Chains A and B, each alone.
Chain A
Amino acid sequence: MAIDITQFRQVFFEESLEGLDAMESGLLQLAEGTPAEETINTIFRAAHTIKGGGGTFGFQELTSFTHVLESLLDEMRSGRRLVTQEAISLLLQAVDVLRSMLVALQAGTEIDQTQVTEFQTQLEALWHGTAEVTPHPSAPVKTAGDPVRSPVSVGWHITFQPCPTMLQTGNDPLRMFRELETLGTLTVQVDMTRLPAFADLAPETCYLSWELTLHGAVSREQVSAVFEWVEDDCALSLTPLSVPQVPEDVPSLPSPEPAAGVERRAGVERRQSTAAADMNSIRVNIAKIDALINTVGELVITQAMLSQLRDGFDMRHLDKLRDGLDQLERNTRELQESVMSIRMLPISFAFNRFPRLVHDLSQQLGKKVQLTISGEQTELDKTVMEKIGDPLLHLVRNALDHGIESPARRSEVGKPETGCLHLHAYHQGGAIVIEVSDDGTGLNRDKILRKAREQGLVGEDETPSDEQIYALIFQAGFSTAETISEISGRGVGMDVVWSNIKDLGGTIAVFSEGGNGTTFTIRLPLTLATLDGQLVRVGGETYIVPLVAIVESVQIDTTLIHTVAGQSTLYKLRDDYLPIVRLGDLFCVQQAGGAGSEDLLMVVESAGRKIGLIVDELHGQQQVVIKSLETNFRRIEGVSGATILGDGMVALILDIAGLLRLAQYRGGMSIELQRGETARYAA
């Protein structure tokens, strides 16, 4: 039967890469000096799986490379080799080499052979060099193929006497005889002399032995292979049947090398796998799929119930209909949750790269850093996860580079030599919160403020809150090295982090206690596919405001509206002045009345800046499915997407950050003024 083995390669790649991640984190745990047995086992298993799979799925280069690695790990596992720091860093590098090999194989590109060979030599040197046991010659890994055959006889006389317990391993003489029969003509003679009297007979014991004669051109190996599994459980003798006598010890001929043919076929397979490499797949916990199937089952029941109700419906069944619709709503919601959860992955996928990064980087920088991770099981959408990787990387790098001080400096200021870096994730409402905190030098509030004044970002007479001062580091113009280097250098690229997070619909805040470290708090929506929205009516239109952006909604008191120079309008909300804008004006929608007291003011916030939106009416809150406006129409400033409402109407989803920009532009407000105001009313 021909089975195309290439179809399993994609799974093999994914699993191997995951295995490498597990190896890496295991090795890092070992590096910290905690040689837990299970950790070494996990590392060993990962290497073992890659080796086994590599052989099975036709990647000899992986198998031979992993072979040495596996042997090393096996010695460590069985306690025959000490786990040294040196060995760990070599193994870590081996993980990198393997990873690049896998990536190359997956993409169908060439493997960097020189790197692989060089590294294999290093590993072998370690293996042979310092092992406490005599190294056995590295066994060449045999490919899956026919065993080498030795000269063939005309037949065999076989004496087979199983030991009494042989049956208890599930072996059955009958099966072996059947197999022998396939090799040639078999005559069987049973020897029952050992059979006891019936009363003494133990039914699970084998008392019989056999004399067999096999005629045919069969090699000794072929016969031995039949008894391979029981060779220790029986007395077996093989005598070749007479003439022609073939010397038994003739070295087996080398099998012809089908090198050229194999080579060509491998090339073809590579090309095929290139196409497969682009397939983006996700591995889902079975429990989630079961939940999904269960929900679909319930949905089908509900549907059946409703359609039954339709036949011969009259008003007496109204209650039943209502119940059915309630049930339908519940099912639909559950179904939506189940489907969403399939895209959800634990954030450990994003966190897992950091132990290695911190290990390498702290060595490079000559710092001592302990990384702790918590809440790594918190789940979030796969797409969000992919996009949050880089910002997180940036924050972690910054914390190591500029946040945590050198051991000498740390003891000077009375901190323990080893700095702490903590990654933490948790769910809060419909969002995931990720915290990156260190106990390093922290942000220097005064210097940031001074610099901001110099650059005119903050007026001389303003006293912004700490939060607002720290938020300044996310400003694009604030990222020059000379500005911040003596403080902590955190300005570098922070605007990129900020804009990445903003693109995901998230927010980032920073908190720092001078000298005692810094905490970045990232808040992200769990998914990009849906959004919790507040429906608002403006004139005849319905818009959706993301719930996360809404601070509060108040009834407008017309006496508190002030128009300042130009056209900008401010509203005195408690002690603050808030720029307000009529949504109808922005979108050219006829909005009822003037700024009447009937209107509502909705205070929204984006990136620490607030604005008041005047709307006619608030409708319900609901979760809406986001449809891209760009793919279906075109991009509109101030609108992030659209959704379809229950009545089939299309409603636009407001992009608060975009609205703020739009309002500034329309209102003729300068950015500086806007900033100043923000600072003032929050102070």
Chain B
Amino acid sequence: MASILAVDDSASMRQMVTFTLQGAGYEVVEAQDGEQALGIAQSTKVNLVLTDVNMPNMDGIALIGALRALPHYKFTPILMLTTESALEKKQEGKAAGATGWIVKPFNPDQLLATIKKVLG
């Protein structure tokens, strides 16, 4: 089954995302900021990265940029979790190499629908 790296500094969001994805049969690896996520990504290959934008240590945009620089993450779908108000963040994310985004707030069904879209 496809594996997903879920990155968010908020424990409740992470828990919700993980629970939802695991319920749908995905394998989930969690990270609480960009730095940790990058560390995980360097040693493992996942099928999809799902990242929050505002995080301590390394934010989502920086993480996306760093991931795209890794050879084995060149074409991996990376989705960012963003709020509607952060339009410029979407642009920044795209510029850094994000595949797409999921707008917060979202419910588990919307999350799964979007993931399915990317993972096929």
Q: B10 on the interface (CB 8 Å rule)?
A: yes
Q: In the complex, are the beta carbons of A52 and B15 less than 8 A apart?
A: no
Within 8 A of B (CB), among A92-144: 139, 141-144
Q: Flag B38-61 by CB within 8 Å of A: 1 or 0 each.
A: 000000000000000011100000
Q: Is the interface of B mostly helix, strand, loop or mixed?
A: mixed
Q: B19 on the interface (CB 8 Å rule)?
A: yes
Q: In the complex, are the beta carbons of A169 and B99 less than 8 A apart?
A: yes
Q: Flag A225-243 by CB within 8 Å of B: 1 or 0 each.
A: 0001100110000000000
Q: In the complex, are the beta carbons of B112 and A52 less than 8 A apart?
A: no
Q: In the complex, are the beta carbons of B84 and A139 less than 8 A apart?
A: yes
Residues of A within 8 A of B16 (CB): 5, 8, 56-57
Complex Cα spacing A142 to B104, Å: 9
Q: In the complex, are the beta carbons of A167 and B84 less than 8 A apart?
A: no
Closest to A71 in B: B85
Residues of B within 8 A of A142 (CB): 84
Within 8 A of A (CB), among B82-120: 83-85, 91, 94, 97-101, 104-110, 112, 117-118, 120
Q: In the complex, are the beta carbons of A143 and B108 less than 8 A apart?
A: no
Contact of A169 among B83, B94, B120 (CB under 8 A): B94
Q: In the complex, are the beta carbons of A56 and B104 less than 8 A apart?
A: yes
Q: B26 on the interface (CB 8 Å rule)?
A: no
Q: In the complex, are the beta carbons of A52 and B120 less than 8 A apart?
A: no
* CB of A106 to closest CB in B, whole Å: 13
Residues of B within 8 A of A167 (CB): 75
Binds B, one of A170-178, A408-416, A442-450: A170-178
Contact of B74 among A168, A175, A283 (CB under 8 A): A168
Complex Cα spacing A54 to B13, Å: 10
Complex Cα spacing A668 to B10, Å: 63
Q: Flag B7-26 by CB within 8 Å of A: 1 or 0 each.
A: 00111110110011001100
Among B9, B12, B55, B98, the most chain A Cβ lie within 10 Å of the Cβ of B12
Residues of A within 8 A of B20 (CB): 1, 3
Q: A401 on the interface (CB 8 Å rule)?
A: no
Q: In the complex, are the beta carbons of B105 and A144 less than 8 A apart?
A: yes
Complex Cα spacing A142 to B106, Å: 10
Q: A49 on the interface (CB 8 Å rule)?
A: yes
Q: A55 on the interface (CB 8 Å rule)?
A: yes
Complex Cα spacing A452 to B110, Å: 73
Q: A179 on the interface (CB 8 Å rule)?
A: yes
Complex Cα spacing A469 to B90, Å: 68
Among A14, A51, A53, A54, the most chain B Cβ lie within 10 Å of the Cβ of A53
Complex Cα spacing A170 to B120, Å: 13
Q: A598 on the interface (CB 8 Å rule)?
A: no
Q: Flag B65-89 by CB within 8 Å of A: 1 or 0 each.
A: 0001000001111100101110000
Known: A139-B85, A170-B76. 13 other contacts (CB 8 A): A1-B108, A8-B15, A8-B16, A9-B12, A49-B13, A53-B10, A168-B97, A170-B78, A170-B99, A171-B77, A171-B99, A171-B100, A233-B94
Residues of B at the A interface (CB closer than 8 Å) are: 9-13, 15-16, 19-20, 23-24, 54-56, 68, 74-78, 81, 83-85, 91, 94, 97-101, 104-110, 112, 117-118, 120
Ordered by A's residue number, 27 sampled pairs between the chains whose C-beta atoms are within 8 Å are A1-B20, A3-B108, A3-B109, A8-B12, A14-B11, A15-B10, A15-B11, A41-B56, A45-B9, A45-B56, A48-B83, A51-B83, A52-B105, A54-B105, A55-B104, A56-B13, A56-B104, A56-B105, A57-B12, A57-B16, A63-B105, A71-B85, A141-B84, A169-B99, A170-B76, A171-B100, A175-B117
Residues of A at the B interface (CB closer than 8 Å) are: 1, 3, 5, 7-9, 11-12, 14-15, 41-42, 44-45, 48-49, 51-57, 63, 67, 70-71, 139, 141-144, 167-171, 175, 178-179, 204, 228-229, 232-233, 283
